[in-house]
Every structure is written in structure tokens, then in C-alpha cells.
Amino acid sequence: MNSAIDLAELEADARARDDADPLASFRDEFLIPPHGDGQQVYLCGNSLGLQPRATRQALLDELDAWRDLAVEAHFRGKHPWMPYHNEVRAHLAELVGALPAEVVAMNSLTVNLHLMMASFYRPTRERHAILIEKGPFPSDQYAIESQIRFHGFDPATSLIEVPGDEPGQCISDASIERVLDAHGTRIALVLLPGVQYRTGQVFDLKRIAARARAQGCRVGFDLAHAVGNVPLALHDSGCDFSVWCSYKYLNSGPGAVAGCFVHERHARADLPRFAGWWGHDQSTRFTMGPEFSPTPGADGWQLSNPPILALAPLRVSLELFHRAGMARLREKSVALTGYLEGLIHQHLAELIDILTPRQSERRGCQLSLRVKGGREAGRALFEHLGRQGIIGDWREPDTIRVAPVPLYNRHLDGLRLARSAKAWADRAA
Ligand SMILES: *Cc1c(COP(=O)(O)O)cnc(C)c1O
């Protein structure tokens, strides 16, 4: 990337790759934020996905239904509100590899985590611990520790944190298995991410769930950074539950309605749960009787009637995923992220370390970057990129996260990032 000739070649190569991309047209279905006379290089879909063009009309349609039909819109109109959450069910199940009755769109992520722990974290004197990775997303840490205290236990003795044992603080499968083998009989719940938010590492859900269940533990996954990013097979993984949010890779807008998976084997189980009328048996919900009888499946954990204005963007987004297909998206994602990683290795190796695993099967689209010069240099590069309209995000103390997402990013975006970082390094030198 040192001479003008190199640059022209790199640019031609990136454009050729983008021209050959069978999913290229999906970019036009998103609104890319402006920067100067052009567009941002938006590499922050891991934090807030971009707005699909169709979302605005979907919201206006619901406002019109409210205006024109009012209460009758529950049963009439293009997308009747009463069964509205069923409209997202099939595509949601397809996306996470679940049976339709195993998934439901409801609440927000941390709320769902609490609801699932109410049912699946049932500590006893002998078995009271929760196993997590060291340094999980703070909301998960707070939720988990508060559940431990709620049951009268102490996180100091009931929280088992698996530390990173690989470069970049990634965690090997062997390390998780060692902790499970050593402490399994006192672990009530294993709660790990599908993709770790800070490192971008993918966890082997099936392998973890099998080992945890062999030890008699319940197992749940937080898929905030995995859903819409990597292919999932939740039913086959055998986990008891999973939760995720919909505003990151699922592009459903800030604070969007989250998701929840409960394995089929619990569909009719008499599990303790926090109940609400929307989880009541649908055939008798409106007889308004005093006794709660849950609807079978994940629907039985619903509390309230769903927020239609927040579900409409999810419906639009899931339809895009269905059309693109997760297998094709993954194929493009592996290529896009590998391309960016290659540029960093070839041209920026003296400036940047990559914390994310190198093997594509152990990561999604995110790369976590650390500037070798330390935190201040990292902040300076991050701010330089921002001024150029190249948007990633910063995670304290020293990590820049960038995520080329296959629905709307291009190889050219990766090249713009690498060029800009290289120009910054050359100027600083
Ligand atoms: C994004 C994220 C959250 C955010 O929680 P909300 O309840 O949606 O605010 C929680 N946990 C993880 C792992 C996340 O990545």
C-alpha cells in the first residue's frame, strides 16, 4: 500500500470482488449514513445495525392501521396485531435453527435473561454456581450476580469465571471443559455467549452444551453477537435456553424487541416462571380466569401483549435475512472478514494486533483490533477513522471493534479502513 500503483491495484481488486458478490444488491436495501458528499464506511453493525429502507413504511402502515382501524386492527388489516408475533416466528426459527414453537420475540435481552434464569437457575446447597466467561458483557454480569444474590448465595463462591488462556484473551474449548470437569457437580447453570462481544470469538455451542448437560448442569447462551452473524442450530445444540437482542446484526432499530429460545423438551414442563397474561394458554386467554396455565413452548414465557411498533422493524429485517439466506451470508462474511484481516496483516502488522481468532470457524464478522502503541495511540487512530467517516466502536480499555457485515458492507469498505489507518500511521511515523 506504499505506492500509487499498489493502491490502484488494490482498489481494482476490491471492486472486482464486490462486483462478483451475488448478495451485492442487498446493500441498496439499507440506508447508509452520509459522510461529506459520500457515505460512511459503516463497520458498526455489531453495535447498531443500519436501517432497512422498508422499515419506515412498515411503521407508517401500523400508524395508519391504528388511525383507521383502532382496536379492530387487532384482527383486521394487513398484519393483524393479535397474532403479530407469529408473523416473525418462522423466519426467527429459521435464523437460529429452532422449531417454530421454540422461539418467541419479546421484551429486551436483559429482561429475557432474567426470565430464563427464573426458570433455569434453581440453585441448591450442593449445586449453586453459575459458570460464565471472565469479563462478560456487563449487563450479563450484573444480571447473573443479582440472581445469585436473589437466591441467597454469594457471587464470591457461586460465580465461576473461565479466564482467557489464548492470545487476545480468547478461551479454548479445552479450558471450558477442564472447568466443567472439575466443578460440574456444583454448577447449576452454564451461561456463555455465542460470540464474545469483546474478542469476537465464536464458541462451540453444541460441544459446550453436551459437556455441561453430561455434568447435570442447565445451559443457556447469550447470542447478542451471534444472531444474524453466524449460522446457529439451537435445537440441535441441546441448550436449555438462549436469548438475544435484535438491534445489532438484526438491524431492527435501537432497543428493538429481543428474542428467546426454549428447547422443545421444556415445552410442556411444569417449570417455575414469572407469568403474565400473554403467556397464558391462548385458547383460554380471554376467558380471563384467575389460574395461570402456560401456553406450550417459548410463548408460555411471554408477559405482555407485544409492542407492535417495535415488532414491525423486526418483521422487515427477518424477511431480508430469509431472502439472503444465512448460508450465503456466512460465505460472504468469511470472505469479507478474511479480506480485511489479510490487509491488516500485509500492511498494518507493525501498527495493529488482532485479538480475534484467526481461524474463520472460530469467529464471526467482527475483528477486535489493538494498536500496539497502547491506549492513547488506539484512541488517536479510532478518532482519526471517525473523522474520515469510518465507523467502528471503542471498547475500554484499548480495543477498536470493526465488523464488516455481509448484508451491507463491501470489500471496498475494508480497503478504505486499511488505507486510512495506514495513512495515519505513516503521518505519525
Ligand atoms: C448488547 C448486549 C447486551 C445489551 O442488553 P440489553 O438488555 O439489550 O440492553 C447484553 N448482553 C450482551 C452479551 C450484549 O452483547
- Ligand 1 center–CA 253 separation, angstroms: 14
- Ligand 1 center–CA 245 separation, angstroms: 7
Question: Ligand 1, from 107, 109, 196: best to mutate by most atoms within 8 Å of Cβ?
Answer: 109
Segment 291-316 mean pLDDT:
96
Segment 3-10 mean pLDDT:
79
Whether residue 85 is predicted with pLDDT greater than 90 in this model: the reply is: no
How open is the CA angle 113-114-118, to the nearest 5 degrees?
120
Q: Whose CA is nearest to atom 10 of ligand 1?
A: 139
- Ligand 1 center–CA 220 separation, angstroms: 15
Question: Ligand 1, from 48, 112, 133, 139: best to mutate by most atoms within 8 Å of Cβ?
Answer: 139
255 Cα nearest atom in ligand 1: 8
Mean pLDDT across the chain: 96
Pocket of ligand 1 (CB under 6 A): 108-110, 137, 139-140, 193, 197, 222, 224-225, 245
pLDDT tens per residue, range 65-79: 999 999 999 999 899
As a three-state string, the secondary structure of 43-57 is CECCCCCCEECHHHH
How is the chain split among helix, strand and coil, in percent rounded to 5?
50, 15, 35
pLDDT tens per residue, range 102-116: 999 999 999 999 999
Cell reading at 73: 386492527
**Domains along the sequence of the chain with CATH:** 4-52+325-428 (3.90.1150.10), 83-323 (3.40.640.10)
pLDDT tens per residue, range 363-402: 999 999 999 999 999 999 999 999 999 999 999 999 999 9
Q: In 3-state terms, what secondary structure has residue 65?
A: helix
Closest CA to 161 of 192, 139, 186: 192
Q: What is the pLDDT of residue 133?
A: 98
Closest CA to 343 of 270, 279, 421, 278: 421
pTM (two decimals): 0.97
- Ligand 1 center–CA 39 separation, angstroms: 28
Q: Whose CA is nearest to atom 15 of ligand 1?
A: 224
Closest CA to 413 of 403, 426, 400, 423: 403
Beta pairing partners, 259: 105, 244
How many residues can be counted in the chain?
Answer: 429
Q: What is the pLDDT of residue 370?
A: 97
pLDDT tens per residue, range 127-181: 999 999 999 999 999 999 999 999 999 999 999 999 999 999 999 999 999 999 9
- Ligand 1 center–CA 109 separation, angstroms: 6
Cell reading at 254: 435501537
- Ligand 1 center–CA 72 separation, angstroms: 35
Q: In 3-state terms, what secondary structure has residue 398?
A: coil
Evaluate whether 356 touches 368 at the Cβ level (below 8 Å): yes
Q: What is the pLDDT of residue 2?
A: 64
Q: What is the pLDDT of residue 5?
A: 61
Evaluate whether 50 touches 30 at the Cβ level (below 8 Å): yes
